[in-house]
Amino acid sequence: MSLPPSGPPPAPPEINLTFEDAGPPASPPPGPPRRSLQANTIIIMLGTLGSRLSGILRQMIINLFGTGLTDAFNVAITVPNLLRELLAEGALVNSFIPVYKSLDEAGRRQLAQTFSGVMLAVNLLLMAVGIVAAPLVVDLLLSATPNVDRDLAVYMTRLVMPFLMLISLSAVAMGLLNADEHFRESSFAPIAFNLASIAALVLLPDTATWLGFGWLLGGVAQLVVQLPALHRFGLLPTPSLKPHPALGRVLRQMAPFTLTAGARQFLNVYVLNLLSNRQLFPDGTTSGYFNAQALFTMVNGLFIVSPVLAVFPRFSEAAAKGDWTLFKQLTAQTIRTTTFLAAPMSALMVVLAPYAISVINLEVPRLPEELDKFAAGSGILTGWALALVPWALVTVLLRTFYARERTREAVTVSAIGFVLEVGLYRLLVPAMGLMGFGLATTLSGVLMAGALTVLYRRAVGFPGREIAGHLARVVPLATAAGSLAWLVARVLPDPGFIVQGVLGLVVAGGVGLGAYLAGALVLKLPEVAAVTRRLRR
């Protein structure tokens, strides 16, 4: 769907980001037609689904390796991932696109060249420093009494450090494609990463060296598959260090975002330190944490991040035009869509977390460390599931600030929220164990969503009544659906192996999801009505 002319329209049509078509604009913008928000959302969701499912398959194969090796590997890949979010994916999408969209075609091309050159130089430097300083970094991540092999973690950290360069260049490609709303290639690039990694895991020996090599091979694949699309659309930049006046705007936007990303990484460092503490948790807890993370990010990426990524360029364009009526409408519809999808997933994951963790177990857990890994993954995923709805609100609202180039408020709230989350971890995890992780994340999400809502309302005017009314219907409905799924699961075989996991998710999860959709029909929620109309077509 194209944007209407600037200024408040007399009767703007309802925008449903995921399912419903809208009529053509009164005066279409110049240039080739672009896909509707619905089409973009579906493309991103399909790419995310393929990426997460192939990622789950990759995690299943990794789980066949020894627990000691997987614990060290998960610590090792954390290091380039920390730097990746600081300098690549998150900062790029949220700071580069608004500035890029404000330039003419020539300015965009020059900015892309300069920005890619700067990213290349910075990542080369950091990769070298990371390889040299790997022992210090691993010591920072691990507890003083670790349940992870330190020397193995140091070796694997050095081995996978070039992944930072590969994923950063891939993020530049993804940002350029997303800015021009070419989502197909960038959305499916992570699938190439997983497929290449899976091939390496299956064909190569199950050693630390080849496990790290498989990770690097996946990074190469994720970058390479995007290059033809960049060339086809005339977006492939030639890296250059020649200054560009708009680079300063990008860096100013990146600087505070890097600060808040740094606060989040401080949280991740603290979490790994907790997980590796032998006095608190047994061997296998770190691997269990990453198993839970793989499943949680699949649900979060599919039902929350995908719709938000699709609408972010439209947020930026509406803000650039000063069309705040459309901007608020996009905000309300994005929140409604994401929370309508997130609420039932949250309720079902709370009650079916052990079955979800079972899906990635190709072997029945028997050894003590395998049982501990399964228990850790189940407990952490159960708690994290509570956080889906509040973090859906946070995800949407943060993008509205970045689109308006009001980065300072967004990152201030984010940084305070992550520091608060560290404090909550410190308070709750020792007392509550694994459930403390999820409760801390949920509480920080609620507080951050509240703060962002207040700031948004002061600047633009928040559609609070519409959002509150929507949540008052979907949250109780999702709770009832989750309760029904829990009752059904009581008569199913105990979880632990992939067969029981699939059975639990299909039967109990299917009953719960069916009840949720039936209730939504009874309540006449527009989101489910749009699904029905699309299926009839």
Confidence check: pLDDT of 486 > 90? yes
Q: How confident is the model at residue 264 (pLDDT cuts 50, 70, 90)?
A: low
Polymer length in residues for the chain: 537
Structure tokens at 158: 């050095």
Q: How confident is the model at residue 123 (pLDDT cuts 50, 70, 90)?
A: confident
CB atoms within 10 A of CB 523: 11
Q: What angle do CA 99, 101, 105 make, to 5 degrees?
A: 110
Least confident of 35-39, 74-78, 197-201, 320-324: 35-39
Q: How confident is the model at residue 38 (pLDDT cuts 50, 70, 90)?
A: low
Per the DSSP assignment, residues forming a β-bridge with 146 are 277
What is the per-residue pLDDT for 408? 80
Confidence check: pLDDT of 27 > 50? no
What are the two backbone dihedrals, phi and then psi, of residue 107, each rounded to the nearest 5 degrees? -65, -35
CB-count exposure of residue 106 (10 Å: 0-12, 13-18, 19+): exposed
Rounded CA gap, 428 and 59, in Å?
Answer: 28
Least confident of 5-14, 30-39, 40-49: 5-14
Per the DSSP assignment, residues forming a β-bridge with 277 are 146
Rounded CA gap, 183 and 41, in Å?
Answer: 9
Inter-CA distances, 51 with 44, 85, 223, Å: 10, 18, 15
Given a contact cutoff of 8 angstroms between Cβ atoms, the answer to whether 167 and 89 are in contact is: yes
Q: What angle do CA 522, 524, 527 make, to 5 degrees?
A: 120
pLDDT in tens, 291-346: 898 899 888 888 888 888 778 888 888 888 888 999 999 999 999 989 999 999 99
Inter-CA distances, 432 with 27, 280, 338, 436, Å: 58, 11, 30, 5
Confidence check: pLDDT of 206 > 80? no
Q: How confident is the model at residue 34 (pLDDT cuts 50, 70, 90)?
A: low
- If one compares 415 and 15, the residue with the highest pLDDT of the two is 415
CB atoms within 10 A of CB 89: 19
Given a contact cutoff of 8 angstroms between Cβ atoms, the answer to whether 332 and 467 are in contact is: yes
- The predicted model gives 118-135 an average pLDDT of 87
Rounded CA gap, 425 and 429, in Å?
Answer: 5
Rounded CA gap, 102 and 100, in Å?
Answer: 5
Least confident of 171-175, 295-299, 321-325, 373-377: 171-175
3-state DSSP assignment of residue 146: strand
pLDDT in tens, 3-12: 333 333 333 3
Rounded CA gap, 35 and 414, in Å?
Answer: 32
Considering Cα of 401, then 402, then 405, then 408, what sign does the dihedral take?
Answer: positive
Rounded CA gap, 102 and 108, in Å?
Answer: 9
Backbone conformation region of residue 312, classed left if phi is above 0, alpha if psi is from -120 to 50, else beta: alpha
- The predicted model gives 147-159 an average pLDDT of 91
Rounded CA gap, 50 and 250, in Å?
Answer: 31
Confidence check: pLDDT of 203 > 80? yes
Inter-CA distances, 458 with 396, 404, 461, 462, Å: 17, 14, 6, 8
- The predicted model gives 183-193 an average pLDDT of 82
Rounded CA gap, 305 and 48, in Å?
Answer: 9
Rounded CA gap, 498 and 360, in Å?
Answer: 6
What is the per-residue pLDDT for 290? 86
What is the per-residue pLDDT for 5? 32
Q: What angle do CA 387, 56, 210 make, to 5 degrees?
A: 125
Confidence check: pLDDT of 108 > 90? no
Least confident of 181-190, 208-217, 422-431: 181-190
Rounded CA gap, 190 and 169, in Å?
Answer: 13
- The predicted model gives 154-164 an average pLDDT of 90
Structure tokens at 380: 């952490």
What is the per-residue pLDDT for 261? 62
Q: What angle do CA 119, 225, 231 make, to 5 degrees?
A: 75
The DSSP H or E segment spanning 39 is: helix 37-62
- Looking up tokens 């309300």 gives 332
- The predicted model gives 258-275 an average pLDDT of 72
Q: How confident is the model at residue 250 (pLDDT cuts 50, 70, 90)?
A: confident
List all residues 6 or more positions away from 442 whose beta carbon is below 8 Å from its beta carbon.
Answer: 383, 386, 387, 390
List all residues 6 or more positions away from 179 whose beta carbon is below 8 Å from its beta carbon.
Answer: 96, 97, 100, 101, 108, 313
- 3-state SS of 170-232? HHHHHHHHHHCCCHHHHHHHHHHHHHHHHHHHHHCCCCHHHHHHHHHHHHHHHHHCCHHHHHH
Confidence check: pLDDT of 113 > 80? yes
